[in-house]
Homo-oligomer: A and B are copies of this chain.
Protein backbone atom coordinates (compact mmCIF):
# COMPACT_ATOMS: atom_id res chain seq x y z
CA UNK A 1 0.00 0.00 0.00
CA UNK A 2 1.19 3.42 -0.93
CA UNK A 3 2.33 5.67 1.90
CA UNK A 4 -0.60 7.63 3.21
CA UNK A 5 1.38 10.89 3.19
CA UNK A 6 2.24 10.29 -0.44
CA UNK A 7 -1.42 9.77 -1.29
CA UNK A 8 -2.29 13.08 0.33
CA UNK A 9 0.43 14.91 -1.57
CA UNK A 10 -0.72 13.49 -4.87
CA UNK A 11 -4.10 15.06 -4.23
CA UNK A 12 -2.51 18.41 -3.35
CA UNK A 13 -3.51 18.09 0.27
CA UNK A 14 -1.00 19.36 2.79
CA UNK A 15 0.28 16.64 5.05
CA UNK A 16 -0.58 17.57 8.61
CA UNK A 17 -0.42 15.38 11.69
CA UNK A 18 -4.19 15.60 12.04
CA UNK A 19 -4.87 14.48 8.49
CA UNK A 20 -2.39 11.66 8.74
CA UNK A 21 -3.86 10.48 12.01
CA UNK A 22 -7.41 10.46 10.65
CA UNK A 23 -6.46 8.86 7.36
CA UNK A 24 -4.35 6.25 9.10
CA UNK A 25 -7.02 5.47 11.65
CA UNK A 26 -9.56 4.95 8.88
CA UNK A 27 -7.14 2.83 6.87
CA UNK A 28 -6.48 0.52 9.77
CA UNK A 29 -10.00 -0.18 10.93
CA UNK A 30 -12.88 -2.23 9.58
CA UNK A 31 -15.34 -0.49 11.87
CA UNK A 32 -16.65 2.27 9.59
CA UNK A 33 -16.49 4.92 12.30
CA UNK A 34 -18.41 8.18 12.43
CA UNK A 35 -16.75 11.59 12.81
CA UNK A 36 -17.47 11.53 16.52
CA UNK A 37 -15.97 8.06 16.89
CA UNK A 38 -12.82 9.10 15.05
CA UNK A 39 -12.55 12.19 17.20
CA UNK A 40 -12.78 10.18 20.40
CA UNK A 41 -10.40 7.51 19.18
CA UNK A 42 -7.73 10.11 18.51
CA UNK A 43 -8.37 12.11 21.65
CA UNK A 44 -5.52 10.56 23.59
CA UNK A 45 -2.89 10.84 20.88
CA UNK A 46 -4.09 14.20 19.53
CA UNK A 47 -5.69 15.95 22.48
CA UNK A 48 -5.77 19.38 20.84
CA UNK A 49 -7.49 18.26 17.66
CA UNK A 50 -10.97 19.68 17.32
CA UNK A 51 -14.09 18.01 16.03
CA UNK A 52 -14.29 20.69 13.34
CA UNK A 53 -10.92 19.54 12.04
CA UNK A 54 -12.18 16.00 11.87
CA UNK A 55 -15.13 17.11 9.78
CA UNK A 56 -13.01 19.31 7.54
CA UNK A 57 -10.47 16.55 7.04
CA UNK A 58 -13.12 13.97 6.24
CA UNK A 59 -14.57 16.37 3.71
CA UNK A 60 -11.18 16.91 2.10
CA UNK A 61 -10.43 13.18 1.97
CA UNK A 62 -13.85 12.48 0.56
CA UNK A 63 -13.47 15.10 -2.17
CA UNK A 64 -10.06 13.66 -3.01
CA UNK A 65 -11.65 10.21 -3.30
CA UNK A 66 -9.34 8.84 -0.65
CA UNK A 67 -12.26 7.73 1.50
CA UNK A 68 -15.98 7.22 1.01
CA UNK A 69 -18.94 8.33 3.06
CA UNK A 70 -21.60 5.84 4.12
CA UNK A 71 -25.26 6.45 4.78
CA UNK A 72 -26.53 3.45 6.59
CA UNK A 73 -29.67 5.22 7.81
CA UNK A 74 -28.43 6.48 11.14
CA UNK A 75 -28.36 10.07 12.26
CA UNK A 76 -24.74 10.50 11.21
CA UNK A 77 -22.39 9.49 8.44
CA UNK A 78 -19.81 6.75 8.65
CA UNK A 79 -16.53 6.62 6.76
CA UNK A 80 -14.64 3.90 4.95
CA UNK A 81 -11.07 4.05 3.63
CA UNK A 82 -11.85 1.37 1.08
CA UNK A 83 -12.88 3.53 -1.83
CA UNK A 84 -13.48 0.73 -4.25
CA UNK A 85 -17.23 0.44 -4.41
CA UNK A 86 -18.45 -2.52 -2.38
CA UNK A 87 -21.65 -3.54 -0.64
CA UNK A 88 -22.09 -3.14 3.11
CA UNK A 89 -23.92 -5.39 5.50
CA UNK A 90 -25.53 -3.72 8.50
CA UNK A 91 -26.65 -5.70 11.52
CA UNK A 92 -30.00 -4.38 12.68
CA UNK A 93 -29.35 -5.80 16.11
CA UNK A 94 -25.85 -4.58 17.03
CA UNK A 95 -25.53 -1.89 14.30
CA UNK A 96 -22.21 -3.26 13.15
CA UNK A 97 -21.30 -2.41 9.54
CA UNK A 98 -19.35 -5.03 7.63
CA UNK A 99 -17.71 -4.91 4.22
CA UNK A 100 -18.72 -7.37 1.60
CA UNK A 101 -16.51 -8.40 -1.23
CA UNK A 102 -17.83 -6.70 -4.33
CA UNK A 103 -17.08 -9.62 -6.62
CA UNK A 104 -20.41 -11.14 -5.71
CA UNK A 105 -22.23 -8.24 -7.29
CA UNK A 106 -19.76 -7.42 -10.03
CA UNK A 107 -22.28 -7.36 -12.83
CA UNK A 108 -25.03 -5.30 -11.33
CA UNK A 109 -23.87 -1.85 -12.36
CA UNK A 110 -23.78 -3.08 -15.89
CA UNK A 111 -27.30 -4.41 -15.56
CA UNK A 112 -28.55 -1.13 -14.18
CA UNK A 113 -26.98 0.84 -17.00
CA UNK A 114 -28.54 -1.49 -19.52
CA UNK A 115 -31.99 -1.04 -18.00
CA UNK A 116 -31.96 2.68 -17.35
CA UNK A 117 -31.03 5.77 -19.29
CA UNK A 118 -28.59 6.93 -16.63
CA UNK A 119 -24.82 7.03 -16.98
CA UNK A 120 -23.88 5.38 -13.72
CA UNK A 121 -20.90 6.79 -11.82
CA UNK A 122 -21.18 5.25 -8.41
CA UNK A 123 -23.30 3.01 -6.26
CA UNK A 124 -24.15 2.45 -2.63
CA UNK A 125 -25.52 -0.92 -1.68
CA UNK A 126 -26.64 -1.70 1.83
CA UNK A 127 -28.07 -4.93 3.13
CA UNK A 128 -29.76 -4.99 6.50
CA UNK A 129 -30.01 -8.14 8.52
CA UNK A 130 -28.81 -10.08 11.52
CA UNK A 131 -25.13 -10.83 11.84
CA UNK A 132 -23.81 -14.28 12.85
CA UNK A 133 -23.01 -13.12 16.40
CA UNK A 134 -26.47 -11.74 17.02
CA UNK A 135 -28.15 -14.74 15.46
CA UNK A 136 -26.32 -16.90 17.94
CA UNK A 137 -27.17 -14.82 20.98
CA UNK A 138 -30.82 -14.82 19.99
CA UNK A 139 -30.89 -18.58 19.96
CA UNK A 140 -29.95 -18.76 23.62
Contacts and interface: CB of A to CB of B under 8 A. Distances in A.
A131 B101 CA distance: 28
Among A92, A115, A125, A130, chain B packs the most CB atoms within 10 A around the CB of A125
B116 A100 contact: yes
Interface stretch (A4-12, A33-41, A44-52, A103-111): A103-111
Nearest to A130: B119
Contact of A71 (B71, B92, B105, B131): B71
Given A69-B73, A71-B71, A111 B105 contact: yes
A3 interface: no
B108 A131 contact: no
Given A112-B127, A125-B125, A127-B123, A117 B132 contact: yes
